[in-house]
Amino acid sequence: MSAQIVDGAGQAAQQRPDSRLRRGRFHPERIADAAAVSFLLLIGVAILFPGLLTSYNPYEVSGAEVLAPPGADVWFGTDYLGRDLFSRVVYGTQQTIFGAFIAVVVGLGVGAALGLGAAYLGGAVDAVISRIVDVLLAIPGLLLAMVVIVALGFGTVNAAIAVGIASVATFARLMRSEVLRVRNLPFVEAARHLGVPSGRLMLHHVLPNSYGPVLSMTALQFGLSILWITALSFLGFGAPPPQPEWGLLVSEGRDYLASSWWMTILPGLVIVLTVLSISRVSQILATLRKDVS
Protein backbone atom coordinates (compact mmCIF):
# COMPACT_ATOMS: atom_id res chain seq x y z
CA MET A 1 0.00 0.00 0.00
CA SER A 2 2.80 2.43 0.93
CA ALA A 3 4.67 1.66 -2.27
CA GLN A 4 1.59 2.53 -4.30
CA ILE A 5 1.23 5.79 -2.41
CA VAL A 6 4.86 6.66 -3.11
CA ASP A 7 4.50 5.77 -6.78
CA GLY A 8 1.32 7.82 -7.05
CA ALA A 9 3.04 10.82 -5.45
CA GLY A 10 5.99 10.45 -7.79
CA GLN A 11 3.74 10.34 -10.82
CA ALA A 12 1.86 13.40 -9.59
CA ALA A 13 5.13 15.23 -9.06
CA GLN A 14 6.19 14.38 -12.60
CA GLN A 15 2.87 15.53 -14.02
CA ARG A 16 2.82 18.88 -12.22
CA PRO A 17 5.92 20.35 -13.95
CA ASP A 18 4.61 19.12 -17.30
CA SER A 19 1.30 20.85 -16.71
CA ARG A 20 3.12 24.03 -15.71
CA LEU A 21 5.18 23.86 -18.89
CA ARG A 22 2.04 23.38 -20.96
CA ARG A 23 0.45 26.40 -19.34
CA GLY A 24 3.68 28.38 -19.79
CA ARG A 25 3.53 27.91 -23.54
CA PHE A 26 0.46 30.15 -23.64
CA HIS A 27 1.59 32.64 -21.06
CA PRO A 28 0.55 36.21 -21.94
CA GLU A 29 4.13 37.42 -21.64
CA ARG A 30 5.28 34.94 -24.27
CA ILE A 31 2.49 36.06 -26.58
CA ALA A 32 3.58 39.68 -26.07
CA ASP A 33 7.20 38.75 -26.77
CA ALA A 34 6.27 36.96 -30.00
CA ALA A 35 4.06 39.86 -31.09
CA ALA A 36 6.83 42.40 -30.42
CA VAL A 37 9.43 40.41 -32.35
CA SER A 38 7.02 39.82 -35.25
CA PHE A 39 6.14 43.51 -35.45
CA LEU A 40 9.80 44.53 -35.50
CA LEU A 41 10.41 42.01 -38.28
CA LEU A 42 7.69 43.78 -40.27
CA ILE A 43 9.39 47.07 -39.56
CA GLY A 44 12.63 45.58 -40.87
CA VAL A 45 10.89 44.49 -44.07
CA ALA A 46 9.40 47.98 -44.45
CA ILE A 47 12.89 49.47 -44.16
CA LEU A 48 14.67 47.11 -46.55
CA PHE A 49 11.96 45.97 -48.97
CA PRO A 50 8.93 48.31 -48.75
CA GLY A 51 7.67 47.11 -52.12
CA LEU A 52 6.88 43.71 -50.57
CA LEU A 53 4.28 45.27 -48.27
CA THR A 54 2.54 47.66 -50.67
CA SER A 55 2.28 48.19 -54.40
CA TYR A 56 1.08 51.79 -54.22
CA ASN A 57 3.25 54.82 -54.85
CA PRO A 58 3.33 56.94 -51.67
CA TYR A 59 3.49 60.14 -53.73
CA GLU A 60 0.77 59.32 -56.28
CA VAL A 61 -2.17 61.71 -56.06
CA SER A 62 -5.70 60.53 -56.90
CA GLY A 63 -8.47 63.10 -56.95
CA ALA A 64 -11.15 60.42 -57.20
CA GLU A 65 -10.18 58.79 -53.87
CA VAL A 66 -9.74 61.75 -51.55
CA LEU A 67 -10.22 60.91 -47.85
CA ALA A 68 -11.37 57.36 -48.58
CA PRO A 69 -11.87 55.34 -45.36
CA PRO A 70 -9.85 52.18 -44.63
CA GLY A 71 -10.96 49.20 -46.68
CA ALA A 72 -9.82 46.10 -48.50
CA ASP A 73 -7.99 48.07 -51.21
CA VAL A 74 -6.61 50.87 -49.04
CA TRP A 75 -5.87 49.40 -45.59
CA PHE A 76 -5.19 52.76 -43.91
CA GLY A 77 -7.45 54.82 -46.17
CA THR A 78 -6.26 57.81 -48.19
CA ASP A 79 -5.28 61.35 -47.25
CA TYR A 80 -6.58 64.74 -48.40
CA LEU A 81 -4.81 64.36 -51.75
CA GLY A 82 -5.94 60.79 -52.37
CA ARG A 83 -2.56 59.23 -51.57
CA ASP A 84 -2.55 55.76 -50.07
CA LEU A 85 -1.83 56.22 -46.36
CA PHE A 86 -0.55 52.69 -45.75
CA SER A 87 2.10 53.03 -48.45
CA ARG A 88 3.14 56.39 -46.99
CA VAL A 89 3.52 54.80 -43.55
CA VAL A 90 5.53 51.91 -45.01
CA TYR A 91 7.88 54.14 -47.02
CA GLY A 92 8.16 56.59 -44.13
CA THR A 93 9.51 53.84 -41.87
CA GLN A 94 12.95 54.12 -43.41
CA GLN A 95 13.24 57.85 -42.72
CA THR A 96 12.03 57.65 -39.13
CA ILE A 97 14.08 54.60 -38.13
CA PHE A 98 17.16 55.93 -39.92
CA GLY A 99 16.81 59.21 -38.04
CA ALA A 100 16.48 57.37 -34.72
CA PHE A 101 19.58 55.32 -35.58
CA ILE A 102 21.62 58.47 -36.23
CA ALA A 103 20.38 59.96 -32.96
CA VAL A 104 21.41 56.90 -30.96
CA VAL A 105 24.83 56.72 -32.64
CA VAL A 106 25.50 60.40 -31.86
CA GLY A 107 24.26 60.14 -28.28
CA LEU A 108 26.03 56.84 -27.58
CA GLY A 109 29.31 57.82 -29.20
CA VAL A 110 29.68 61.26 -27.67
CA GLY A 111 28.13 60.34 -24.33
CA ALA A 112 30.19 57.18 -23.85
CA ALA A 113 33.41 59.03 -24.73
CA LEU A 114 32.63 61.84 -22.28
CA GLY A 115 31.64 59.45 -19.49
CA LEU A 116 34.67 57.25 -20.02
CA GLY A 117 37.08 60.17 -20.05
CA ALA A 118 35.50 61.84 -17.02
CA ALA A 119 35.54 58.73 -14.83
CA TYR A 120 38.95 57.42 -15.86
CA LEU A 121 40.89 60.68 -15.92
CA GLY A 122 39.15 62.26 -12.94
CA GLY A 123 40.24 65.57 -11.44
CA ALA A 124 39.56 68.72 -13.43
CA VAL A 125 38.43 66.76 -16.49
CA ASP A 126 35.78 64.97 -14.45
CA ALA A 127 34.62 68.24 -12.87
CA VAL A 128 34.24 70.05 -16.21
CA ILE A 129 32.45 67.18 -17.97
CA SER A 130 30.17 66.57 -14.98
CA ARG A 131 29.10 70.23 -14.95
CA ILE A 132 28.36 70.08 -18.69
CA VAL A 133 26.29 66.94 -18.15
CA ASP A 134 24.42 68.59 -15.28
CA VAL A 135 23.51 71.53 -17.50
CA LEU A 136 22.27 69.23 -20.27
CA LEU A 137 20.21 67.22 -17.80
CA ALA A 138 18.64 70.40 -16.43
CA ILE A 139 17.12 71.19 -19.84
CA PRO A 140 14.19 69.03 -21.06
CA GLY A 141 15.42 66.81 -23.86
CA LEU A 142 12.84 67.77 -26.45
CA LEU A 143 13.32 71.47 -25.76
CA LEU A 144 17.09 71.09 -26.12
CA ALA A 145 16.59 69.23 -29.40
CA MET A 146 14.39 72.06 -30.68
CA VAL A 147 17.09 74.63 -29.82
CA VAL A 148 19.77 72.59 -31.59
CA ILE A 149 17.68 71.99 -34.71
CA VAL A 150 16.91 75.70 -35.00
CA ALA A 151 20.67 76.30 -35.05
CA LEU A 152 21.37 73.47 -37.54
CA GLY A 153 18.38 73.89 -39.83
CA PHE A 154 15.30 71.78 -40.52
CA GLY A 155 15.38 68.26 -41.93
CA THR A 156 15.38 64.63 -40.84
CA VAL A 157 19.16 64.34 -40.45
CA ASN A 158 19.44 67.59 -38.51
CA ALA A 159 16.53 66.52 -36.31
CA ALA A 160 18.31 63.23 -35.64
CA ILE A 161 21.56 65.02 -34.72
CA ALA A 162 19.62 67.34 -32.42
CA VAL A 163 17.96 64.40 -30.66
CA GLY A 164 21.34 62.68 -30.36
CA ILE A 165 22.88 65.75 -28.72
CA ALA A 166 19.94 65.91 -26.33
CA SER A 167 20.60 62.29 -25.26
CA VAL A 168 24.35 62.69 -24.72
CA ALA A 169 23.95 63.44 -21.01
CA THR A 170 22.06 60.19 -20.34
CA PHE A 171 24.77 58.02 -21.87
CA ALA A 172 27.58 60.07 -20.30
CA ARG A 173 26.23 59.75 -16.76
CA LEU A 174 25.61 56.01 -17.07
CA MET A 175 29.04 55.35 -18.60
CA ARG A 176 30.74 57.41 -15.91
CA SER A 177 29.08 55.46 -13.11
CA GLU A 178 30.03 52.13 -14.68
CA VAL A 179 33.66 53.13 -15.23
CA LEU A 180 33.93 54.35 -11.65
CA ARG A 181 32.73 50.93 -10.55
CA VAL A 182 35.13 48.98 -12.77
CA ARG A 183 38.34 51.00 -12.58
CA ASN A 184 39.05 50.01 -8.95
CA LEU A 185 38.39 46.31 -9.37
CA PRO A 186 41.32 43.96 -8.55
CA PHE A 187 42.09 42.91 -12.13
CA VAL A 188 42.32 46.55 -13.24
CA GLU A 189 44.60 47.38 -10.33
CA ALA A 190 46.76 44.35 -11.16
CA ALA A 191 47.09 45.45 -14.80
CA ARG A 192 48.00 48.95 -13.68
CA HIS A 193 50.74 47.65 -11.35
CA LEU A 194 52.09 45.47 -14.15
CA GLY A 195 52.74 48.61 -16.18
CA VAL A 196 49.95 48.44 -18.75
CA PRO A 197 49.68 51.85 -20.49
CA SER A 198 46.70 53.98 -19.51
CA GLY A 199 45.17 54.02 -22.98
CA ARG A 200 45.40 50.27 -23.39
CA LEU A 201 44.14 49.73 -19.85
CA MET A 202 41.11 51.89 -20.53
CA LEU A 203 40.26 50.32 -23.90
CA HIS A 204 41.04 46.67 -23.17
CA HIS A 205 40.16 46.31 -19.49
CA VAL A 206 37.85 49.08 -18.31
CA LEU A 207 35.66 49.68 -21.37
CA PRO A 208 34.76 46.02 -22.15
CA ASN A 209 33.50 45.59 -18.59
CA SER A 210 31.54 48.85 -18.53
CA TYR A 211 29.52 49.00 -21.72
CA GLY A 212 26.92 46.32 -20.87
CA PRO A 213 24.40 48.56 -19.07
CA VAL A 214 25.05 51.31 -21.61
CA LEU A 215 24.07 48.99 -24.46
CA SER A 216 20.94 48.02 -22.57
CA MET A 217 20.08 51.71 -22.33
CA THR A 218 20.64 52.04 -26.09
CA ALA A 219 17.52 50.04 -26.96
CA LEU A 220 15.35 52.14 -24.67
CA GLN A 221 16.89 55.35 -26.00
CA PHE A 222 16.19 54.16 -29.55
CA GLY A 223 12.46 54.08 -28.82
CA LEU A 224 12.63 57.48 -27.15
CA SER A 225 14.49 58.85 -30.17
CA ILE A 226 11.63 57.71 -32.42
CA LEU A 227 9.17 59.63 -30.25
CA TRP A 228 11.31 62.77 -30.24
CA ILE A 229 11.97 62.71 -33.99
CA THR A 230 8.29 62.21 -34.79
CA ALA A 231 7.43 65.00 -32.32
CA LEU A 232 9.85 67.37 -34.06
CA SER A 233 8.38 66.43 -37.44
CA PHE A 234 4.89 66.96 -36.06
CA LEU A 235 5.90 70.48 -35.00
CA GLY A 236 7.38 71.20 -38.43
CA PHE A 237 11.09 70.85 -37.59
CA GLY A 238 11.67 67.58 -39.42
CA ALA A 239 11.17 66.32 -42.96
CA PRO A 240 9.34 68.74 -45.28
CA PRO A 241 6.25 67.72 -47.30
CA PRO A 242 5.57 65.61 -49.28
CA GLN A 243 8.01 63.19 -47.65
CA PRO A 244 6.16 60.38 -45.83
CA GLU A 245 7.72 60.76 -42.39
CA TRP A 246 5.66 59.38 -39.50
CA GLY A 247 5.45 62.57 -37.48
CA LEU A 248 4.58 64.59 -40.58
CA LEU A 249 1.79 62.13 -41.44
CA VAL A 250 0.24 62.64 -38.01
CA SER A 251 0.59 66.40 -38.40
CA GLU A 252 -1.10 66.37 -41.81
CA GLY A 253 -4.07 64.46 -40.41
CA ARG A 254 -4.78 66.63 -37.37
CA ASP A 255 -6.91 69.07 -39.41
CA TYR A 256 -9.12 66.17 -40.52
CA LEU A 257 -9.36 64.37 -37.18
CA ALA A 258 -13.12 64.92 -36.80
CA SER A 259 -14.06 63.57 -40.23
CA SER A 260 -11.09 61.38 -41.25
CA TRP A 261 -9.72 59.92 -38.02
CA TRP A 262 -7.55 57.33 -39.77
CA MET A 263 -5.12 59.97 -41.05
CA THR A 264 -3.94 60.62 -37.48
CA ILE A 265 -4.89 57.53 -35.47
CA LEU A 266 -3.37 54.84 -37.69
CA PRO A 267 0.11 56.42 -38.18
CA GLY A 268 0.11 57.27 -34.47
CA LEU A 269 -0.75 53.66 -33.64
CA VAL A 270 2.21 52.46 -35.72
CA ILE A 271 4.51 54.79 -33.79
CA VAL A 272 3.19 53.53 -30.44
CA LEU A 273 3.46 49.86 -31.42
CA THR A 274 7.01 50.36 -32.70
CA VAL A 275 8.18 52.00 -29.47
CA LEU A 276 6.43 49.39 -27.30
CA SER A 277 7.91 46.56 -29.37
CA ILE A 278 11.42 47.97 -29.07
CA SER A 279 10.97 48.33 -25.31
CA ARG A 280 9.72 44.75 -25.04
CA VAL A 281 12.57 43.32 -27.09
CA SER A 282 15.08 45.29 -25.01
CA GLN A 283 13.64 43.64 -21.88
CA ILE A 284 14.01 40.23 -23.52
CA LEU A 285 17.65 40.92 -24.39
CA ALA A 286 18.35 42.19 -20.86
CA THR A 287 16.85 39.00 -19.40
CA LEU A 288 18.91 36.82 -21.73
CA ARG A 289 22.03 38.75 -20.80
CA LYS A 290 21.39 38.16 -17.09
CA ASP A 291 20.79 34.45 -17.69
CA VAL A 292 24.04 34.11 -19.64
CA SER A 293 26.07 36.00 -17.07
Tens of pLDDT, residue by residue over 19-66, are 444 444 557 778 888 999 999 999 999 999 999 999 899 998 887 788
CA–CA distance, 104 with 110 (Å, rounded to integer): 10
DSSP state letter for 205: I
Report pLDDT digits (tens) over 113-144: 899 888 878 888 889 999 999 988 888 888 88
CB 156 within 8 A of CB 239: yes
pLDDT at 3: 47
pLDDT, tens digit (0-9, with 9 covering 90-100), for 229-273: 999 999 988 888 888 999 999 999 988 988 899 999 999 999 999
pLDDT over threshold 70, residue 17: no
- Pick from 12-21, 100-109, 188-197, 257-266: least confident: 12-21
Is residue 288 predicted with pLDDT exceeding 80?
no
Mean pLDDT computed over 163-170: 92
Q: What are phi and psi of 84, to 5 degrees?
A: -70, 120
User: Which of 17-21, 72-76, 102-106: highest mean pLDDT?
Assistant: 102-106
Q: Which of 263, 248, 235 is nearest to 83 (CA)?
A: 263
Query: CA-CA distance, 292 to 285, in Å (whole number)?
Result: 10
- Report d(CA 175, CA 115) in Å as an integer: 5
Per CATH, the number for 45-292 is: 1.10.3720.10
H helix intervals, the chain: 2-24, 28-48, 85-121, 123-138, 141-152, 156-166, 168-182, 186-193, 198-201, 211-234, 246-253, 262-292
Half-sphere exposure of 114 (CA within 13 A, CB side): 24
If one compares 193 and 80, the residue with the highest pLDDT of the two is: 80
Residue 78 phi, psi dihedral angles, 5° rounding: -125, 165
